[in-house]
């Protein structure tokens, strides 16, 4: 079968009186409609196209669960908004008493003087729970008022299923979020250059209180998985392993969140590798079926991708004009699709 494309020859003076018909073969088809999302280890996940500002796929996106230290991304946004990076912070007894996250993690100690920028790096690179408390107290005077700001910010971002009860993500009954809400938070964080610069640091050292501290990022895939640039890891007994990742690939930028995993690294790698196969020529070709009865033939996960294609803005904010060529392609798609889908019933 061939598509029939009508090619109009035009000049600056108007259309040519002659039209000729060109027969084009259909584009080559591989396994249709595309490779399905990977079956990763995790209770919930979501992949987001930054350019398309749209979901590309998800599993249990509205399942309420503990977000662990992904929480610190909200803390970081509020700190950047409300405190100068050069401000000095004296660590309180309350911050000093906050549990560390893992054995051997360098802590902050009562009476030490840290700058806001150092503490920001502390929470984003090595995920310091005590440093998050020190920053909350510096910004708002106490943790309770800072948490109120966190929930106000979450509401403003449309995070309708999120409740923050602390600035660090330590397990607390009722401290909950969802994959969808955390993607919204990640999308907002991309507007903060200080956070983007800091969250991609692999190693950092601090000289404070007579101590020289050298720490490695909790995100072990920084520098190992091409294109991965932050944003925040987490790991608690209730949350298990979690990761909100930002990826810059050749053909697009993506946000991925994995929750409730036993191996957030491999789960995130699989999702990002899959995301990089989306929004390609095949998706744009079949986008014409979105919103029509033909879309009923697609798997649900592929309909989500078609919606993402449709969300991309056309030039000038207006849809492209209909032409004999686009009408011909749409007609051919209608003819071809049932045969391509074959045995789907």
Q: Any catalytic annotation for residue 92?
A: no
Rounded CA gap, 54 and 246, in Å?
A: 15
CA 333 to the chain's CA centroid: 32
Whether 266 sits among the annotated catalytic residues: the reply is: no
CA dihedral 150, 156, 159, 163 (to 10 degrees): 30
**Among 58, 92, 127, 199, the one annotated catalytic:** 127
Question: Helices 179-189 & 71-82, crossing angle to 10 degrees?
Answer: 30
Of the listed 49, 69, 92, 140, which one is catalytic? 69
Show Cβ contacts of residue 93 under 8 Å, excluding neighbours closer than 6 positions.
110
Instruction: Choose, from 49, 58, 72, 199, the residue flagged as catalytic.
Output: 72
127 annotated active-site: yes
List Cβ neighbours of 212 (8 Å cut-off, separation of 6 or more): 205, 206
- Which residues are annotated as catalytic? 69, 72, 127
């Amino acid at each position: 079968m061939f598509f029939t494309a009508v090619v109009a020859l035009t000049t600056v003076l108007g259309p040519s009186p002659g039209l000729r018909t060109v027969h084009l073969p259909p584009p080559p088809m591989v396994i249709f409609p595309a490779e399905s999302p990977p079956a990763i280890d995790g209770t919930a996940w979501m992949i987001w196209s930054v350019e398309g500002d749209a979901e590309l796929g998800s599993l249990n996106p509205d399942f309420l669960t503990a977000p662990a230290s992904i929480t610190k991304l909200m803390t970081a946004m509020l700190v950047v908004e409300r405190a100068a990076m050069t401000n000095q912070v004296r660590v309180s007894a309350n911050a000093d008493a906050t549990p560390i996250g893992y054995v051997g993690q360098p802590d902050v100690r009562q009476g030490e003087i840290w700058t806001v920028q150092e503490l920001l790096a502390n929470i984003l690179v090595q995920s310091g729970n005590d440093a998050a408390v020190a920053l909350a107290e510096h910004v708002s005077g106490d943790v309770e008022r800072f948490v109120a700001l966190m929930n106000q910010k979450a509401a403003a971002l449309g995070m309708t299923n999120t409740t923050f009860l602390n600035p660090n993500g330590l397990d607390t009954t009722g401290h909950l979020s969802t994959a969808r809400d955390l993607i919204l938070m990640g999308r907002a964080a991309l507007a903060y250059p200080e956070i983007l610069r800091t969250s991609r640091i692999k190693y950092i050292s601090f000289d404070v209180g007579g101590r020289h501290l050298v720490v490695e990022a909790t995100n072990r895939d920084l520098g190992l998985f091409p294109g991965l640039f932050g944003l925040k890891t987490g790991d608690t007994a209730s949350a298990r392993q979690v990761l909100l990742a930002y990826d810059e690939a050749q053909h697009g930028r993506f946000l991925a969140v994995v929750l409730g995993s036993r191996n957030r690294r491999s789960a995130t790698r699989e999702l990002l590798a899959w995301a990089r196969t989306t929004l390609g020529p095949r998706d744009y070709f079949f986008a014409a079926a979105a919103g029509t009865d033909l879309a009923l033939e697609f798997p649900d996960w592929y309909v989500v991708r078609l919606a993402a294609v449709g969300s991309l803005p056309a030039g000038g904010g207006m849809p492209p004009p209909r032409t004999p060529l686009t009408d011909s392609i749409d007609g051919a798609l209608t003819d071809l699709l049932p045969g391509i889908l074959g045995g789907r019933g």
